[in-house]
Amino acid sequence: MNYTRLLTLLMVLLLMISFTACSSEDENDLLIFTNATIWNGTDQNMQENAALVTRDGRVVSILDMNDHDFPENAQTVDLGGAFVVPGLINAHGHIGMADGLDTSAQAHTTDNVVRQLKLSAAYGITTVVSLGDEPYHAFLVRDNMDPVERGMARVFLAGDVLSADTPDEAAEEVERNNRYNPDWMKIRVDDGLGQREKMSPEVYSAIIDEVHRRNLKLAAHIVYLEDAKGIVQSGGDLIAHSVRDEPVDSELIDLMLDRDVCITPTLTRELSVYVYSERPDFFDDPFFLEYANPEVLEQLQRPEVQEVFTGAAADYFRDALPLAKENMVALHNAGVRVAMGTDSGPPARFQGYFEHLEMQMMQDAGMTPAEILQSSTRYAAECMGIDEELGTLEAGKWADFVVVEENPFDDISNLKSILDVYIGAKRIQR
Ligand SMILES: [Zn+2]
């Protein structure tokens, strides 16, 4: 018997032992969510009359309720015929940088980070990838607090947005930020609409190499098509906003497909730059008002504050929004993975609610509810490299899920009919 065969035999034996061990006597460890229509986040359709079997906060399987092997001694939670989808993932948020409209040092606290992660979770956003500018308190929370126990969204962090003027500065800058042990790194390639010099390809290439040397990935904020291409050509791993100056072309599409680079369109970011120049419609949405801070709403309706949301930049991004949407759809149709992201977290970009607004805008732009659901779960996880544990309800992954009353495959806004949110199979307090 050769070595490979022996190894296979051993594996089979081990599997048999573990199956026997798990079968009946461990039923008491199971927590089963019964009586639901479940979408597990993969290409498979929703499964009606199904049950989600979990153990220690992780998915074991999804069973048909009529399955004759249905564990009889397990603890169950009846979901009353509701719909279950994997917890939503924001692939481009920002955590802990502002408290209401305040971005001063006073806003930077551990409590604020926890509050924002709980708020996200209340809206069904069970994971946030925060792409930069977090205070160190966000790292304290990430490293010391259990999201399952706290009922807050899981968080991944990028640390300081990297800046360097020369390729020589790149190594030092990346090393400095690496001390926090970030999950991603981030740069901005942006000339402030012609107001400042933007990072050169030489500098961002050097940064990307340094980031890769530390086995991390780099997200790049861009505005222009030219820079999106440059970033992908230089090995960048995520385009962190939609292209907003020109229609995307086959060169960018081929580059992104070739190198498996995703995009987070952040359409609500465009909206947030101008929408408060007058009172936005969503100020009347009960789903928004449920968690919105009345003081912030009052501030945003003051004439002197409304004034801030006017001017050249506001005009540019308002006018660029239709193109941003078209470019998102063009990339999506070409097979580039779109990961739902909002750029929420800075002042007046409302965490939790903006994710739902983003998904609505994706639908208005022409993506189907099924495509948006994938974008907000599995693709977001894959694009951000966290799909081993998150993004779908497959065996071994965290049982993070949202229970909704209406079918989100009919209309993405049905995700607003949240009944409950579970993180690690534990129901959060909303
Ligand atoms: Zn951002």
Categorize the per-residue pLDDT at 21 as very low, low, confident or very high, splitting at 50, 70 and 90: very low
Ligand 1 centroid–CA 184 distance in Å is: 12
Ligand 1 centroid–CA 238 distance in Å is: 12
Ligand 1 centroid–CA 93 distance in Å is: 6
Which whole-number Å values give the CA distances from 303 to 98, 103, 262, 306, 348, in the listed order? 22, 20, 39, 5, 15
Return the pLDDT at 69: 82
**Mean pLDDT of the 166-192 span:** 97
Q: What percent of the chain has pLDDT over 70?
A: 94
Ligand 1 centroid–CA 425 distance in Å is: 30
Which DSSP category does 50 fall into?
Answer: E
Over residues 147-164, the pLDDT tens digits come to 999 999 999 999 999 999
Ligand 1 centroid–CA 159 distance in Å is: 12
Ligand 1 centroid–CA 58 distance in Å is: 30
As a dihedral over the C-alpha atoms of residue 15, residue 19, residue 20, residue 21, rounded to 10 degrees, the angle is 100
Over residues 358-372, the pLDDT tens digits come to 999 999 999 999 999
Ligand 1 centroid–CA 101 distance in Å is: 16
The helix/strand/coil state of 93 is strand
pLDDT over 70 (residue 13): no
**Mean pLDDT of the 47-60 span:** 97
Beta bridge partners of 154: 127
Beta bridge partners of 185: 218
**Mean pLDDT of the 343-368 span:** 98
pLDDT over 60 (residue 7): no
This prediction's pTM: 0.93
Ligand 1 centroid–CA 421 distance in Å is: 25
Ligand 1 centroid–CA 302 distance in Å is: 26
Residue where the block lists tokens 């597990």: 40
Which whole-number Å values give the CA distances from 138 to 178, 391, 423, in the listed order? 15, 22, 19
Ligand 1 centroid–CA 190 distance in Å is: 12
| Domain ranges for the chain | 87-392
Ligand 1 centroid–CA 379 distance in Å is: 18
Contact criterion met (CB below 8 Å) for 62 and 51: yes
Categorize the per-residue pLDDT at 2 as very low, low, confident or very high, splitting at 50, 70 and 90: low
Mean pLDDT of all residues in the chain? 94
Ligand 1 centroid–CA 92 distance in Å is: 6
Contact criterion met (CB below 8 Å) for 268 and 352: no
Return the pLDDT at 26: 76
Ligand 1 centroid–CA 189 distance in Å is: 12
pLDDT over 90 (residue 20): no
pLDDT over 90 (residue 49): yes
Return the pLDDT at 427: 98
Ligand 1 centroid–CA 14 distance in Å is: 46
Return the pLDDT at 42: 96
Ligand 1 centroid–CA 271 distance in Å is: 14
Ligand 1 centroid–CA 232 distance in Å is: 18
Ligand 1 centroid–CA 394 distance in Å is: 30
Ligand 1 centroid–CA 390 distance in Å is: 22
**Mean pLDDT of the 355-360 span:** 98
Q: What percent of the chain has pLDDT over 90?
A: 91
Over residues 252-279, the pLDDT tens digits come to 999 999 999 999 999 999 999 999 999 9
Return the pLDDT at 70: 87
Distance CA 228, CA 247 (A): 12
Ion ligand 1: protein residues whose beta carbon lies under 5 Å: 131, 343
pLDDT over 60 (residue 391): yes
pLDDT over 80 (residue 141): yes
Ligand 1 centroid–CA 25 distance in Å is: 49
Ligand 1 centroid–CA 341 distance in Å is: 9
Instruction: Name which residue leads in pLDDT, 87 or 12.
Output: 87
CATH for the stretch 87-392:
3.20.20.140
Which whole-number Å values give the CA distances from 429 to 85, 118, 290, in the listed order? 18, 9, 14
Strands (DSSP E) contained in 57-124 are: 58-64, 75-78, 83-86, 88-93
Ligand 1 centroid–CA 172 distance in Å is: 23
pLDDT over 90 (residue 98): yes
Distance CA 318, CA 43 (A): 35
Ligand 1 centroid–CA 318 distance in Å is: 17
Ligand 1 centroid–CA 427 distance in Å is: 29
Ligand 1 centroid–CA 162 distance in Å is: 13
Categorize the per-residue pLDDT at 4 as very low, low, confident or very high, splitting at 50, 70 and 90: low
Categorize the per-residue pLDDT at 204 as very low, low, confident or very high, splitting at 50, 70 and 90: very high
Ligand 1 centroid–CA 396 distance in Å is: 31
Cα dihedral 345, 133, 161, 305 sign: positive
